[in-house]
């Protein structure tokens, strides 16, 4: 009996323990299920937040780009253009400079104000013009020809105003660039370095019997001295001797021309601004003596030079304008841009001048000419 009761009690206790374990297991399972559901909900929430955040991140650069474009489209600029002298090649540089800016989205009358001054080949006036530009706090100065570029940089470097030059024959000699072509400061631009050897070849082809070539230059223009040195170095290779005459101002041109014409078989012209500005005087005197005068660019051939292996100054100006646009837009600093040159020269001839001189221009030159003129313009 006692044994039976003991067995019954043991069974009852075992049943109770089994029921408790089952309840605990079910509770644990439900809790685990709830935790899993909560975790999944949290993951979904985090995923949604991440997705939204990702979308925001993707939209941010686009918004910044749009803001930058809008800021650029609303930007306006003021440029001070200083031109050293009044003659065709420098005028073409200025025209090309504005065209290059316009092609880059910076156009006068829309988002560009131009302050233009001409120093009329006077160094003192060039310095005054540069000082005036600085006083008006222009965004950029453009110096057309070496003396103007030097004057502008002398003033602008005190305030870090960028200067872009054009029609500077030798930027290194003018101390506007380092020997390796890098800028000396916030200044860069384009060079109209003469294709001296091509010019000598052309003169020899047109004048097979000529011996002496005359060159007139301004003694204060370092570019002219540099060009004459190159002519003297290369001339003997083509059977020529260079005879040079220096002037200090336009007042000296007439007398210097009379002297030079009596010593030479022809004259070749540089890009010397003082001399070019008085070129009609030289041409008249040379024509009276039947002495051919060779130019250095297209405008000189138009007004009476026989021929030239020259540069297109409008294209040179465009190249300069595009460099200026990079600086204005903040794409580059002037100090990060080496100066550039136009390396390809082209033949320009004036058949009317040739006729007056009794000269026939060689067919191999005229066939590939960039342009031939049949009249003399004034």
Give mean pLDDT, residues 253-260.
Answer: 96
Distance CA 365, CA 190 (A): 27
Residue 20 is predicted with a pLDDT of 42
Distance CA 295, CA 377 (A): 14
Output the CA–CA distances (angstroms, integers) from residue 24 to 19, 172, 294, in the order listed.
9, 93, 112
Residue with the two structure tokens 């965004």: 139
Domain assignment of residue 145, yes or no:
yes
Give the orientation angle of helix 146-156 with respect to helix 123-135, to 10 degrees.
40
Same domain, 106 and 163: yes
Contact 255, 228 (CB under 8 A): no
Tell whether the model's pLDDT for residue 13 goes beyond 60. Answer: no
Query: 283-286 long-range contacts, Cβ below 8 Å, gap at least 24?
Result: 285/254, 285/257, 285/258, 285/261, 286/257, 286/261
Contact 338, 183 (CB under 8 A): yes
Residue 87 is predicted with a pLDDT of 86
112-145 confidence digits (pLDDT tens) = 999 999 999 899 999 999 999 999 999 999 999 9
Same domain, 246 and 264: yes
Question: Total structural domains in the chain?
Answer: 2
Same domain, 240 and 366: yes
Same domain, 218 and 106: no
CA neighbours within 13 Å on the CB side: how many for 194? 26
Same domain, 336 and 352: no
Same domain, 300 and 320: no
- For residue 101, give both structure tokens: 């800016």
Domain assignment of residue 3, yes or no:
no
The number of helix segments (H) and strand segments (E) in the chain equals: 13, 13
Tell whether the model's pLDDT for residue 160 goes beyond 50. Answer: yes
Give mean pLDDT, residues 173-195.
Answer: 95
Domain assignment of residue 286, yes or no:
yes
Same domain, 203 and 304: yes
Q: Which domain holds residue 267?
A: 196-310+345-373
Q: How many residues does the chain have?
A: 378
Same domain, 99 and 136: yes
Same domain, 235 and 364: yes
Residue 24 is predicted with a pLDDT of 39
Domain assignment of residue 4, yes or no:
no
Give mean pLDDT, residues 74-90.
Answer: 93
Domain assignment of residue 218, yes or no:
yes
Percent share of the chain, pLDDT over 70: 81
Same domain, 219 and 154: no
Domain assignment of residue 337, yes or no:
yes
Tell whether the model's pLDDT for residue 251 goes beyond 70. Answer: yes
Task: Of 101, 113, 231, give the one whose Cα is nearest residue 166.
Answer: 101
- Provide the 3-class DSSP secondary structure of residue 32: helix
Same domain, 243 and 288: yes
Same domain, 156 and 183: yes
14-62 confidence digits (pLDDT tens) = 434 334 434 333 333 333 334 433 334 343 434 443 444 444 444 444 4
Percent share of the chain, pLDDT over 90: 72
Output the CA–CA distances (angstroms, integers) from residue 75 to 72, 107, 112, 133, in the order listed.
5, 11, 9, 20
Domain assignment of residue 287, yes or no:
yes
Give mean pLDDT, residues 319-332.
Answer: 98
Confidence band for 345, pLDDT divided at 50, 70 and 90: confident
Residue 72 is predicted with a pLDDT of 56
Confidence band for 233, pLDDT divided at 50, 70 and 90: very high
Tell whether the model's pLDDT for residue 192 goes beyond 50. Answer: yes
Domain assignment of residue 153, yes or no:
yes
What is the average pLDDT value for the chain, to the nearest integer?
85
Q: Which residue has the higher pLDDT, 311 or 93?
A: 93
Residue 254 is predicted with a pLDDT of 96
Tell whether the model's pLDDT for residue 327 goes beyond 80. Answer: yes
User: For position 111, which CATH number holds?
Assistant: 3.40.50.2300
Tell whether the model's pLDDT for residue 4 goes beyond 80. Answer: no
């Amino acid at each position: 009996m006692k044994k039976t009761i003991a067995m019954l009690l043991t069974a009852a206790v075992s049943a109770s323990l089994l029921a408790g374990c089952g309840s605990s297991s079910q509770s644990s399972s439900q809790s685990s299920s709830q935790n899993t559901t909560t975790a999944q909900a949290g993951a979904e929430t985090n995923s949604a937040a991440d997705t939204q955040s990702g979308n925001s991140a993707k939209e941010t650069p686009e918004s910044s780009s749009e803001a930058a474009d809008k800021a650029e489209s609303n930007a306006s600029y003021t440029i001070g253009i200083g031109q050293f002298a009044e003659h065709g090649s420098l005028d073409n540089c200025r025209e090309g400079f504005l065209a290059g800016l316009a092609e880059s989205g910076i156009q006068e009358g829309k988002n560009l104000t131009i302050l233009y001054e001409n120093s009329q080949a006077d160094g003192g006036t060039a310095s005054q013009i540069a000082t005036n530009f600085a006083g008006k706090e222009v965004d950029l100065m453009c110096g057309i020809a070496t003396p103007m570029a030097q004057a502008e940089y002398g003033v602008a470097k005190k305030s870090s105003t960028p200067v872009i030059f054009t029609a500077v024959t030798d930027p290194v000699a003018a101390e506007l660039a380092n020997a390796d072509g890098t800028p000396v400061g916030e200044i860069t631009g384009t060079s109209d370095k003469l294709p001296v050897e091509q010019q000598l070849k052309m003169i020899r082809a047109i004048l097979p019997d000529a011996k002496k070539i005359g060159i007139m230059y301004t003694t204060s223009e370092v570019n002219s001295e540099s060009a004459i040195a190159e002519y003297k170095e290369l001339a003997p290779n083509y059977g020529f001797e260079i005879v040079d005459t220096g002037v200090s101002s336009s007042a000296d041109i007439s007398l210097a021309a009379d002297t030079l014409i009596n010593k030479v078989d022809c004259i070749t012209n540089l890009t010397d601004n003082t001399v070019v500005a008085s070129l009609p005087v030289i041409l008249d005197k040379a024509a009276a003596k039947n002495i051919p005068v060779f130019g250095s660019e297209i405008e000189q051939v138009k007004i009476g030079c026989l021929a030239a292996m020259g540069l297109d100054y409008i294209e040179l100006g465009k190249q300069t304008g595009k460099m200026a646009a990079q600086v204005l837009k903040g794409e580059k600093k002037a100090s990060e841009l080496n100066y550039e040159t136009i390396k390809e020269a082209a033949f320009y001839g004036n058949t009317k001048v040739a006729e007056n001189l009794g000269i026939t221009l060689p067919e191999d030159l005229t066939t590939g000419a960039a342009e031939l003129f049949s009249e003399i313009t004034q």
